Amino acid sequence: MTFILKRYRVEVDGIEDVLITAKSPGQARSKAWQMWECDIGPLPFMDFLRRSRVLRETPVGGHFGHAISVAGKLAFYVSFDGQYIQFVRPGCDVVLNAHPDDVMRPWLEFGGNGSVPF
């Protein structure tokens, strides 16, 4: 099982761009529409399709996609929101949250057990 998520930039005429983590461009577009519908009110999906485009975001910086251990099980790093670490399990596209103390990050080189917050 591997890391299947990618980062996409969804651009919509007249609305600010947004970065979405998804397994496909179609899923990224759908997630963006759901976000914008909550923020700006009803927007018919067909109108959104006409006004939007999806671009693969490269390069993706940071540790996106690096293997980590969450509660002793393999996972892949997605992001850090200042409080929780977002991660996915291998072969899955559902983003979960973990407290930094539950996460071992092998790229930390300053000693300790790797569970120090970012």
Q: What is the pLDDT of residues 71-116, one digit of tens each?
A: 989 999 998 888 999 999 999 999 999 999 899 877 654 444 444 4
Mean pLDDT estimate for the chain: 84
Rg, Å, the chain Cα set: 16
Average pLDDT of the segment spanning 1-26: 90
| Residue predicted with more confidence, 1 or 13 | 13
Query: What are the pLDDT digits (tens) for 74-84?
Result: 999 998 888 99
CA distance 93 to 91: 7
pLDDT score at 73: 92
**pTM for this entry:** 0.76
CA distance 4 to 55: 17
**Tokens 């979405």 belong to residue:** 20
Sketch the domain layout of the chain as residue ranges.
Answer: 6-56, 63-118
Burial of 70 (0-12, 13-18, 19+ CB in 10 A): buried
pLDDT score at 96: 95
